[in-house]
Amino acid sequence: MSRTNSAAAIVLLSALLLSACTDIPPYRTQLLEASAVDCPTAKLARREKCGHVTPEIVKGSDAYEMHVVEFDDQGWLYPDRPASATQPAETPSGQIEHVMKRLRQLLDDGDDLSIIVFVHGWKHDADVDDSNVDIFRHLLQTFAGDELYQASHGGKRRKVVGIYVAWRGASWPGKDSGPVMDLSFWGRKEAARRVSVGSARELFARMRAMQRYYNATPAGENKALGPQNEQSVNRPRIRTLMIGHSFGALILFAATSGPLTEVLSAQDDLPGTDGGYDPAERIADMIVLVNPAFEAVRYEPLFAVADRYKPRTYQPPLLVSITSTADWATGMAFPAGRAVYTVFERPASSDAQSVAMNHTPGHIDHYLTHRLHGPRSAADGASSIETPASTDDATCHGWKSTLRAAEQTGASDSQNIASITVRNKSLEVVQSEKFLTEWRKPSGLLASGWTRNFCGGDHLEVVNHPEMPGTDNSNALVWNIETDGEVMKDHDDIMNPNFIDFLRQLYGDVALPQVGR
């Protein structure tokens, strides 16, 4: 081994040791009934009264509740109480049971649910003031606002329930973002890998089973088989969006790639599929990986299965992975570290495998299916609230960014934000239906090479690869999107309004009347 590799290996070993040097207890140790929760919104008061509470409840026009489930470095639930002379075995935390009990209670009381799951990444945890916890609060508020549109159009408003999946992404208290914390990168990646094969799988498996049960019609039909619109007689009781960021995307992908592979390959060996496959079961309405930090060799098996899937008609994507070209952590640090980490590994088949061993899926052209561009007028788009009456976005004229409006007018002006949200959603639905009308062929599939404009100025285009004859990503169910710095300026810019507005509108496709059966 060269001196350079030896030195790098020493640095890597030091980082692994540093990343595990501090014992951090769980944060959310008080599991309360929803009716007993009264958390203030002021930061200091919230920390004092609800710093160790789950769930957090927010009431009003943008009501939601946020539950927390925490896992330790081995992927176990934290113990509810430590071992003792009278209780020799540790009792696992009841956080999973607590949130599942609450979901059942809401459903049995007649509520329909919009469940948003978020698995955080490196340098974060379940601390009440963690920036990713704040990001998730804002995200839940945004989706709760979308439910106002359904109520204003004669529909039934869903209860928005967030589940924040936490692990020890920060190696020690304080979350110093300096070079010492940066050394924890590979130690935390290994911790995320252990979490991905631990009790988190129980949480996701129980959520899938609950969705399948409550979304079944009286005749036993599973409405998870293909998207269902909000206007159908038997609309699904549960809608689920799952999001994983960075190493959190590793955890989410590990928990869902197996079931995704199963549903996408379920019809491969069945007779009568020459004309295409029936809609695949949706284990969640949509799964989103944001700047995922895991090796493309883990992505390849699902990519191959998804490439074989032959849809009969357009279906919104089951899984969307999106990576920014401005993300240095996965674009530069990740392959540099992997080059050291895999020094004793050798690819068994090809140069492509060697590249896949050391790079994330979002930084390999072979896996790209789409490119997402931020607002074309970047200088204006960075500060603009309202979409102008341009040629591309005439349908969206009058649309306003709720995130930017909240920043400029104050998030406390809930009535104004609610009014903007309802109007936005009305325009977004028209824009989405316009896209489908323009690009959907009589067969029900989208025409090859489609492009799409979103309210707010984001522009999406299909990527097809000439070196892969016969492959057309225009109707793919697994997307791997490359985007630019206007949509996400760096690894952690996951609340960029351009990104959130794109994500909301894409996720909205699962409920469009033109999409449902």
Each residue's pLDDT tens digit, 235-273: 899 999 999 999 999 999 999 999 999 999 999 999 888
Confidence at residue 378, expressed as pLDDT on a 0 to 100 scale: 43
Q: What value does the CA radius of gyration of the chain take, rounded to a whole number of Å? A: 23
Rounded Cα distance, 517 and 513, in Å: 8
Asked whether the predicted pLDDT for residue 74 surpasses 90, the reply is: yes
Asked whether the predicted pLDDT for residue 225 surpasses 70, the reply is: no
Confidence at residue 222, expressed as pLDDT on a 0 to 100 scale: 61
Judge contact between 286 and 320, C-beta under 8 A.
yes
Confidence at residue 277, expressed as pLDDT on a 0 to 100 scale: 92
Each residue's pLDDT tens digit, 500-509: 999 999 999 9
Rounded Cα distance, 226 and 503, in Å: 19
Rounded Cα distance, 493 and 489, in Å: 6
pLDDT confidence of 407, banded at 50, 70, 90? low
Cis peptide before 55 (omega within 30 of 0): yes
Asked whether the predicted pLDDT for residue 153 surpasses 80, the reply is: no
Q: Is the dihedral of CA 326, 330, 331, 334 positive or negative?
A: positive
Each residue's pLDDT tens digit, 23-62: 678 999 999 999 888 888 888 999 999 899 999 998 876 7
Confidence at residue 164, expressed as pLDDT on a 0 to 100 scale: 98
How do strand 79-81 and strand 113-119 relate by DSSP bridges? Answer: unpaired
Q: Is the dihedral of CA 495, 499, 501, 502 positive or negative?
A: negative
Residue 140 in tokens: 């839940």
Confidence at residue 174, expressed as pLDDT on a 0 to 100 scale: 58
How do strand 238-245 and strand 53-54 relate by DSSP bridges? Answer: unpaired
pLDDT confidence of 117, banded at 50, 70, 90? very high
Read off φ and ψ for residue 313, nearest 5 degrees. -150, 165
Residue 131 in tokens: 């920036």
Residue 151 in tokens: 């109520």
CA diameter of the chain: 74
Judge contact between 72 and 78, C-beta under 8 A.
yes
346 vs 191 pLDDT, higher one: 191
Confidence at residue 148, expressed as pLDDT on a 0 to 100 scale: 85
In sequence order, the 6+-apart residues with CB closer than 8 A to the CB of 254 are 193, 196, 197, 298
Asked whether the predicted pLDDT for residue 344 surpasses 80, the reply is: no
The DSSP call for residue 242 is: E
Asked whether the predicted pLDDT for residue 233 surpasses 70, the reply is: no
Confidence at residue 239, expressed as pLDDT on a 0 to 100 scale: 96
Rounded Cα distance, 370 and 446, in Å: 14
Residue 378 in tokens: 């970047």
Q: Give me the chain's average pLDDT, please.
A: 84
When mean pLDDT is compared over 334-338, 395-399, 401-405, 466-470, the highest value belongs to 395-399
Confidence at residue 388, expressed as pLDDT on a 0 to 100 scale: 46
Asked whether the predicted pLDDT for residue 178 surpasses 90, the reply is: no
Q: What percent of the chain has pLDDT over 70?
A: 78
Cα–Cα distances (Å) from 374 to 142, 380, 470, 483, 485, in that order, read 20, 11, 30, 8, 8
Read off φ and ψ for residue 80, nearest 5 degrees. -70, -35
